[in-house]
Amino acid sequence: MSKIISHRHAVILMMCAASLWSIAGVFTRHLEVVRGVEVTFWRSFFAAVFVAVAMFRQYGRGVVARLKMSGKLGFISGCMWAMMYSCFMIAITMTTVANTSIMESLAPLFTAFLAWLVLREKIPVRTWWAIVAAVAGMAWMFVGSLSEIDHRGMLGMLIGLGVPLASSVNMITMKKGGHTVDLIPAVFMGGSISALVMLPMVFPFQASLHDILILAILGFFQLGFPCMLMVRASASLSAPEIALLSLLEVLLAPIWAWLGAGEVPAQATMVGGAVVLVSLVCNEIFAEEA
């Protein structure tokens, strides 16, 4: 069961999680040999290892019982994590960091719709305005990079669409059962499922020691740890709010790719990102005042 924390604390945790998620692109660009499904395998494997160690430290011999207690909701959440892990890494190896991030930005729209449909959650007007502004900002970013997309890039973006779809279902699952079921084990299941699905397709392994080190960093600190932070924060935030705060990843990812890998973002990317940032800040300011 997720511990209830203050709204402000939850916002900080989500900002930390999104900031850590955003480093995936720049680290991936420094891989030497490994590509595609093997990248997904190693990152998911190391994420599962990280969460497993964290669970053993917290639960001791009760880890297996915790996994069983997560039940149907935990399995659904785990499958959604696995889909997100797999689709994101495959997409980012087929198209640019910015284009992959653009697809992720659809998550708040999908999440708001599902929250209204499944949870009957009343979405504040300020949140709807923030979602509209965020989607508009991302659309501006997309138009700015449209001419750079080839057939491979378009396929990568279509695969990347699986991330916001799975993310929205996962957020609704966490809101539906997170107060009664501990969903940290679902993060472990997500990494395990993703790694097992990719395993038959990665032989023979090609990753160098340099690549494995980078993927271990991604698995531990870009995936396992921030996903655990998100689960903890979810108890104190609405589903659309979680999705909106996750967009901080979208804003930071092209910046890290620019600074660390030379992927210069288009002017439209910067303008659209500014619109998204303003919408996030305004939504949280009005939330604190409400």
Confidence of residue 194 (pLDDT cuts 50, 70, 90): very high
**Cα(79)–Cα(75) distance, integer angstroms:** 6
Query: Taking 90 as the threshold, does the pLDDT of residue 227 lie above it?
Result: yes
Mean pLDDT value across residues 56-77? 89
**pLDDT given at position 16:** 95
**pLDDT given at position 5:** 81
Top-confidence residue, 154 or 223: 223
Top-confidence residue, 259 or 159: 159
User: How many CB atoms sit inside 10 A of residue 86's CB?
Assistant: 25
Longest dimension (CA), the chain: 56
Confidence of residue 33 (pLDDT cuts 50, 70, 90): confident
* Cα torsion 219, 222, 228, 234: sign: negative
Measuring CA to CA, which residue among 63, 41, 65 is closest to residue 54?
63
List, for residues 120-163, the tens digit of each pLDDT value.
888 888 888 888 888 788 777 766 555 556 788 888 888 989 99
Top-confidence residue, 164 or 255: 164
Measuring CA to CA, which residue among 14, 84, 80, 29 is closest to residue 248?
14
Confidence of residue 288 (pLDDT cuts 50, 70, 90): low
Average the pLDDT over each of 59-73, 103-117, 270-284 and give the range with the smallest value: 270-284
**Cα(24)–Cα(153) distance, integer angstroms:** 18
Average the pLDDT over each of 33-42, 61-70, 95-104, 249-258 and give the range with the smallest value: 95-104
**Cα(93)–Cα(88) distance, integer angstroms:** 9
DSSP 237: S
Mean pLDDT value across residues 250-276? 76
Distances, alpha carbon 14 to alpha carbons 152, 166, 216, in Å: 32, 18, 22
pTM across the whole model? 0.85
Confidence of residue 289 (pLDDT cuts 50, 70, 90): low
Q: What angle do CA 11, 13, 16 make, to 5 degrees?
A: 110
Q: What percent of the chain has pLDDT over 70?
A: 91
Distances, alpha carbon 287 to alpha carbons 8, 95, 124, 127, in Å: 10, 36, 9, 9
Top-confidence residue, 250 or 112: 112
Measuring CA to CA, which residue among 71, 12, 272 is closest to residue 189?
71
Average the pLDDT over each of 10-19, 134-143, 201-210 and give the range with the smallest value: 134-143
Q: Which residues contact 90 (CB under 8 A, 6 or more apart)?
A: 36, 37, 40, 156, 159
Query: Taking 70 as the threshold, does the pLDDT of residue 86 lie above it?
Result: yes
* Cα torsion 136, 272, 11, 63: sign: positive
**Cα(60)–Cα(67) distance, integer angstroms:** 12
